[in-house]
Amino acid sequence: MIDVIEAIKILKDNIKEQNENILVNLLDAVGYTLSEDIYSQINVPEFPKSAMDGYAVNHLDLEQNDEFKVIDEIYAGEHKSIRYIPNTAIRVMTGAFIPNGYDCVVKQEDTDYGENVVNIKVKEKEFSNYCHKGEDIEKGELILKKGIVITSVHIGIFASLGIDKIKVVKPLRVSLLSTGSELLYPGEKLKDGKIYCSTLFTLNSYLKKYNIDIVNLEIVEDNLEVIKKKVQEFVEISDVIITTGGVSVGKYDLIPELYNSIANNILFRKVAMKPGTPVSSARINNTIIISFSGNPFAALANFQVLFWPIAEKYYNSEEFSNIVHEKIIEGGYLKCSKLQRYVRARYENEKVYVENIHSSSVISNLLNCNCLIVQEPNRELKKGEKVKVIYLP
């Protein structure tokens, strides 16, 4: 049995950083990992513009006059070369270009709405209601660093820069395989002795959030030859194979035997973590296979702690890291465990509340949870004590 830190190191040592990129369309880019630094090729905006519907004037003229001759008007999308004339105004709309010499905009509500001559009721200061060239983004500015996972906000920034295609890291290819003759796909008729497989679909949803390429998702019976055949098929098209179930020492726990028969290199057999102690991993050619517990929460704990470091190395991105925070336990009690323990909890208002049910087969109480407490070996945790916490995605 090895500790968690060693298991993470072994997994990261056995996955290569991906240097291959693909181009994706702007509308499809959310969840992918950016593969290059983005510098702006333009100013945003590319010209000084009005923040209001109103009249562009020079603020120094406003100090001397209330009445201005309106010499032109400019709508959003227009560009006019207008020479500044003292004591004149230009009617402008929101987003319209402002010519040189006119350095503020008076809101139309603060005027008499004059068409040829406008009477202005306020003394605006220089650059009032005025958007400077490059006010949002300056040309040449570093906007986004490679390694970020693209979000909706990033999409808006790309669009504002006129970028329609984005270079991203070629996605990690993952196959998911749940073993167990008792398992059914959701939608199948429930039969005596059978249960619906939940773990496969939970892990699939986590992976999809980051546009990880799920190349296979299957359930197979407890039959060594069937499992072996599937895994050998998956190896050809996967960077990582995740299996759930069959990792312990029961008669039909076949993963240890699978490893013995087809693995090039067994990386580890057990990890000193609870739940999910019998988690194991191996290399088959250039593919990592990592095998989690069949219990739903144990598998989720294995996945959260051990899979994301693989993704962190592959994408060369800290956005996949499990960042540990220190918080205070407000409610609940955790007795000692000989192994490092991962406990469901809820983080709220700088406090952490421990869930009452800790069974590895129960996942319904995850509806109330948003973090895992990391309980160090042989340590009791009581109300008021500091505790390490990993936020769940």
Range in 98-107, 119-128, 190-199, 321-330 with the lowest mean pLDDT? 321-330
Position 251 scores a pLDDT of 78
* Helix extents (H) in 244-340: 255-262, 296-302, 308-315
Give, as one character, the DSSP assignment of residue 5.
Answer: H
Q: Which class is domain 21-44+136-169?
A: alpha beta
Please state the rounded mean pLDDT for residues 358-380.
Answer: 89
Q: Could you tell me the CATH superfamily of domain 4-19+170-320? A: MoaB/Mog-like domain (3.40.980.10)
Question: What fold, for 324-391?
Answer: Beta-clip (2.40.340)
Q: Which class is domain 49-131?
A: mainly beta
Is residue 13 over pLDDT 90? yes
> What are 260-315's pLDDT values in tens digits?
999 999 999 999 999 999 999 999 999 999 999 999 999 999 999 999 999 999 99
Which residues are CB-neighbours of 134 under 8 A, at least 6 positions away?
A: 43, 44, 45
Domain locations along the chain: 4-19+170-320, 21-44+136-169, 49-131, 324-391
Position 64 scores a pLDDT of 93
pTM: 0.90
Name the one residue in this structure whose structure tokens are 């329609």: 164
CA nearest neighbour of 324 among 271, 386, 385:
386
Q: DSSP labels for 117-140? A: EEEB-S-PPTTTTEEPTTSSB-TT
> What are 316-364's pLDDT values in tens digits?
999 999 989 999 999 777 788 899 999 999 999 889 999 887 788 888 9
